[in-house]
Chain A
């Protein structure tokens, strides 16, 4: 029995103000809504139907019919049950085969793969399984908005590593080495990168792997955009580097390459000890990913599904070239994104901050793109534009931005 004296201090001395915020845990109170969300609220408030959005980080393709049909058929057949906590064995085997053929990775479907509810759950599981209060999580920035808040929720201390346009927004061994301390535990990599579209080659990753090994780091490698590479350079998984498989938790999913965002189908792979710990968290919180989504994902990995993916990737590549050329033609510096589906032009020459530029662009030119500073250090002075939108819309957006820039002169 707990006596009053033994009660934790925080319960006894909870401040008595009028709102409910007093009941929130300190770390839930401390994290901020993402910069993207803030900008979303601004755009939503305008209720202007004429706005062209380059702010959506998802394919404009509807999930290919053959995947949808597989899920519909499964429902008709009454497949509505729980699956194994790790996900259907058939799907894990298909993921294992796919990773082997595409990225030269070998994962045992029995104990090295979990099917998750989107890639985001995979990142959450990995961080929750690894972080102890005070551990340092190293994150190259600009980066996807979730890494830092999820790390903070676990009591971790996030350390941003700024990357630069002149380096193609790639992480360098020097900048990684410079931030390492005895508390450093996890490095989060996301290549191809959201928001910059940067990718890293095998040769560029080797010195990173050396530092990871020397400093006993674990790498969470977010490879959700692995299929979306465009310049002839095939994606290299960090886990495929010598000695890195055991140190890497690979996180990926079906949202981006297979146009399945709303299905929330992801997976995570790694050493059985790490995956085992993550599976415990997964089974007590999520139980298992939805079965109909797993069936659709299984269909995506079949031959016809991969053809659908290739068709979409080719289309993104064409739009990518159009956007890069478009921004360069209007005089903005724009490094060539080699992966994902974002361009990240610099707007520094306008003298406006990312926030000012993005807000004025919505109001005056009716084009919504996300301010680069929403993605952390190194993002200020840039704009994230997603080109997963029709050519007609992209051409119109480029025209509007061009007119807007001329007015700024």
Chain B
């Protein structure tokens, strides 16, 4: 990946709403080059999606999130790939990571309430054949996500005008 594309990614990671024209101005590049680079990265699945980071605790429609450590037995020839696929296809599952250490998969689940998450773990996740055990940790509060701090103390506290 060249520096030009990396710079574009850095800017889009901060603000996905930036237009190609604005990015081009900011990087001192031609707009068509930015458009082409973005298209290429979308094509290659480097840019997967343009999403919004939401602080759900500020919204009435609060959700329950849990992190689940999953221990499982790998399959001959495919390792953890097929089990991971079994897990990530469920819409409740927000992320799945293969981990080193005491367990194998770290699964992030989002549900409407505690009961829904508990039901998913016991009825769906634990019943997958190669799953040996699960440990569920509910997230009580999110302080920082994807490099973004949710608290408001980092607001601009500078004076309106200064020398």
Q: Does any Cβ of A come within 8 Å of B147's Cβ?
A: no
B50 to chain A, nearest CB (A): 16
Kindly count the residue-residue contacts between A and B in the assembled complex, taking CB atoms under 8 Å apart: 59
With an 8 Å Cβ cutoff, the count of chain B residues facing the other chain is: 17
What are the interface flags for A323-362 relative to B under an 8 Å C-beta threshold, 1 for contact and 0 otherwise?
A: 0010000000000000000000000000000000000000
Known: A34-B163, A145-B163, A318-B27. Is A395-B22 also a contact (CB below 8 A)? yes
Residues 293 to 307 of chain A near chain B (Cβ within 8 Å): none
Are the C-beta atoms of B26 and A321 separated by less than 8 Å? yes
User: How far, in angstroms, from A60 to B18 measured CA to CA in the complex?
Assistant: 20
Contact B161 A325 (CB under 8 A): no
Q: Which of A30-54 contact B (CB under 8 A)?
A: 34, 36-37, 39-40, 43-44, 51, 53
Q: List 20 A-B contacts (CB under 8 A).
A: A36-B161, A39-B161, A40-B159, A40-B161, A40-B162, A43-B160, A44-B160, A44-B161, A53-B160, A56-B158, A56-B159, A56-B160, A56-B161, A57-B162, A58-B158, A60-B158, A321-B27, A322-B26, A391-B18, A391-B26
Cα–Cα distance between A321 and B154 once the two chains are bound (Å): 26
| Cβ-closest 10 pairs across A and B | A55-B161, A318-B26, A40-B161, A53-B160, A325-B25, A43-B160, A56-B158, A56-B162, A36-B163, A322-B25
Of all chain A residues, the one with the shortest Cβ separation from B14 is A391
256-309 of chain A: CB within 8 A of chain B: none
Main secondary structure of the interface of B (DSSP, over half): loop
- Whether, in the assembled complex, B151 has its beta carbon less than 8 Å from a beta carbon of chain A, the answer is no
- Give per-residue flags for A356-371: 1 if the beta carbon is below 8 A from chain B beta carbons, else 0: 0000000000001010
Q: Tell me which of B22, B28, B162 contacts A58 (CB under 8 A).
A: B162
Q: Which residues of B come within 8 Å of A, CB atoms?
A: 11, 14-15, 18, 22, 25-28, 154, 156, 158-163
At the interface, yes or no: A62 with Cβ under 8 Å from chain B?
A: yes
